[in-house]
Amino acid sequence: MNKAKQMICPPDRKQSKLGALLSSLSEVVAEERKKLLAPEMEQAEESKRLRVQQITEGAEEMRLTAALEQRRNQRICREITERDYKQTQVSLQEAKKPFKRQMEKILKKLIKTIDFLERAKRGKSAPLIEAAYQQCLMEERILHDREQQICLYVYLCRISLFFFFYWK
């Protein structure tokens, strides 16, 4: 059928050659253009990748620098704190020394005085201690006797109340 159609309406040979040539030419131009632009596209992508990598490296470097600075500041603060603490301890010890010496002197005097008083007390107070002991014993006996009398009185009162109410 194509043969019959071509016989009835023969195609223009010039136009078809030109159209085919144009279509193939446009394809060739597009391919050549792609070939020519490919290195530029690769270069643009590589440039973009390098910029992203540089930004990432810069950010990482800034982070590391900040972390290093923070650790350095912490170390400095720790050193200052330790140095201040040591200085304070030394100053405190120096301030305590005269007070400590004075207290030791006072304590030695008190020990001597107490020792002296105890010796004097032992010699003079033996009869006084014995008399005080006897006095305490006598007071204890009197107190014991009174407690016995009170217990007896309470017992007798209970018995009398019992008989009073029982025989009524």
Domain assignment of residue 66, yes or no: yes
Residue 1 forms part of a structural domain? no
Where in the sequence is the domain holding 161, given as residue range(s)?
19-167
149 assigned to some structural domain: yes
| Structural domain contains residue 9 | no
E strand or H helix at 33, and its extent?
A: helix 13-166
Q: What is the pLDDT of residue 17?
A: 58
Question: Is 12 domain-assigned?
Answer: no
The answer to whether position 30 is within a domain reads yes
pLDDT tens digit string along 33-92? 888 777 888 888 888 999 999 999 988 999 999 999 999 999 988 898 888 888 888 887
pLDDT band of residue 144 (cuts 50, 70, 90) is very high
Write the single-letter amino acid at 61: E
Does residue 142 lie in a domain region?
Answer: yes
CA angle (20, 26, 29) in 5-degree steps: 135
Position 20 scores a pLDDT of 61
Q: Report if residue 87 sits inside a domain.
A: yes
The count of domains in the chain is 1
Q: What is the pLDDT of residues 78-104, one digit of tens each?
A: 898 888 888 888 887 887 788 788 888
